[in-house]
Amino acid sequence: MISISLRQAFAVPEVTVSKNTDGSFNASDVLIFRKEISSSERANTVDMLYTMWPPSQVNILTHSVFMISVSIILRQGVTTTVGLSVRSQGSPAVYKNVAQGKDFAMPIEECGNMLVMVLSYTQHTGDHSLITTYFNLLGQWADYLVANALSPPDQLSSDAFAGSLVNQTNLAIKGIIGISGMSEIAKMSFATSYVSQFQTLAISTVGKHLTLSYGNDSRYV
């Protein structure tokens, strides 16, 4: 079963690399697209990426960030209109609707999924580029979860076959986990920076004491 699952996870992705004006490949612009495993032609469906997240983390960490980058790049444009994470990047036939924020209504599911994946990538790699670049966008998704996760409105979950329902327990727990993920992202984004700045400001010039107030070496804590 593990072997079959891994084949599904890694056989589907398509890797793209853009070219520079001189025709050479731009190695800094590598993206990965993953078609939904169904009759749908949708690409990078967030809840599908979420289900293959564990094998991606175990095997190829960079594989994960490329997929997240693709998702966030699109969602940054979409969220200027609707404010929430859409479900997928759509297909050639439906991309326009997705870009206008008219994808399936699954904001709790997908906002929670994206926050969890971004946090997981950052924790595993120590690379803070995603949470630094997209902190405001991630916070926007978390704010929506704070307002809606405990009592989910009528919308779909990843188990779309159950239909759109109010107060789905799956959505509630996904939203709560997403909020927790954002709290960790905020801690990583600001706490580390604040600690280093505090040390610079508060440690005496001789480097042995904390000053009572910044820049005052004559009084110690």
Cα–Cα distance between 114 and 120 in angstroms, integer? 10
At 117-136, the pLDDT tens digits run: 889 888 888 888 888 888 88
From the first residue on, what is the mean pLDDT of each consecutive set of 10 residues in the chain (221 residues)? 74 81 89 68 74 72 63 57 50 44 73 89 84 88 93 87 88 95 90 77 82 84 66
Give the contacts of 71 (CB within 8 A, at least 6 positions apart).
44, 46, 49, 89, 114
Pairing type for strands 25-33 and 14-19 reads antiparallel
Cα distance between residue 194 and residue 198, in whole Å:
6
Spell out the long-range contacts of 163-167 with Cβ–Cβ below 8 A and sequence spacing 24 or more.
164/105
93-112 per-position pLDDT tens digit:
444 444 444 556 788 998 89
Distance in angstroms (rounded) separating the CA atoms of residues 79 and 101: 8
DSSP 134: T
| Entry pTM | 0.75
